[in-house]
Amino acid sequence: MAGKVFFSVTMSLDGFMAPEPVPVEDVFSPQGRDDPSVRRWMTKWSELQAWLFPQRWFRENLQLGEGGEEGLDNDIARATFERTGASVMGKRMFEAGELAWPEEAPFHTPVFVVTHTRREPWERKGGTTFHFVDDGISSALDQAREAAGERDVRIAGGAEIIQQYLDGGLIDEFSITLAPVLFGTGIRLFDRVDADRLTLAQARADTSSRVTHLTYTVGKR
C-alpha cells in the first residue's frame, strides 16, 4: 500500500514560511554575511526555526554533537523524518542546501529535485541520493512514490513547489509548526494556492512551550 504525500513547514504567526529571499550564495559566503539584508534574513530564519535547533534528534541528524532537548517537539521532528521514504524539492531549495548541508546530507533517503536542467544523480554519504527531474512535478512524485515504497513522500519545499502540489490535488495532509514570531514580509505559504479547489479538516493539534503543531488532511472540492 502506497504511503501518503505530505509536507511539514514552520510558519510565522502572520503566515510566512521564509523571509524575503536573498541570493543563496550571499547567505553562505563570508563576504555575503556582512551584508545587512543577509544578516536580517539569517536573524529572521533563526528566530523561525529556534524551536528545532535544540532538539536532540535534530542535533544528532546533523551531527552537531550529543545531547539536546527531548519531549514533544523532539518526538514530532523525529516522527516526520522516520515516516519519510523519499522527498521532493524545488531547484532553489536544493541550491541553498547544496551550499549548506554537510557531506552526509540530512535526508538519508532518495530526494527528487524538480528542475529544468539535466544532471546525473548525486550520491552523498549516509544514504541520500539526489535525482534531478526535468519533466514536471507529476513525474517527480511518481518516482518518489516508487522509491518510498510503503513509506510517505515528503514535499520538502520551497513554497512554490508546495503550492504546485496543492493546486494539483496531490497532497494528502500537511503539518504547520506555528512559531511565535512576526515577519511582516516574506514568502507566504499559501499565496498562489487556489483556495476554491481545496477543503481542509484539522486532524490534530499539539502544543509545546515553544510552538504549536497543526496537522490537516486535504480534500478536493
Q: Going by DSSP bridges, is the β-strand pair 152-157/198-207 parallel, antiparallel, or unpaired?
A: unpaired
Q: Where are the beta strands (DSSP E) in 91-188?
A: 110-114, 122-123, 129-133, 152-157, 173-179, 187-188
Question: C-alpha cell of 89?
Answer: 524539492
Residue environment code for 7-17, b if the CB has 16+ CB neighbours within 10 A, otherwise e? bbbbbbeebbb
CA distance 114 to 181: 30
pTM (two decimals): 0.93
Per-residue pLDDT tens, the chain, 221 aa: give them. Answer: 579 999 999 999 999 999 988 877 777 666 777 788 888 888 999 999 999 999 999 998 887 878 899 999 999 999 999 999 999 999 989 988 888 888 888 999 999 999 998 899 999 999 999 999 999 999 999 999 999 999 999 999 999 999 999 999 999 999 999 999 999 999 999 988 888 889 999 999 999 999 999 999 999 87
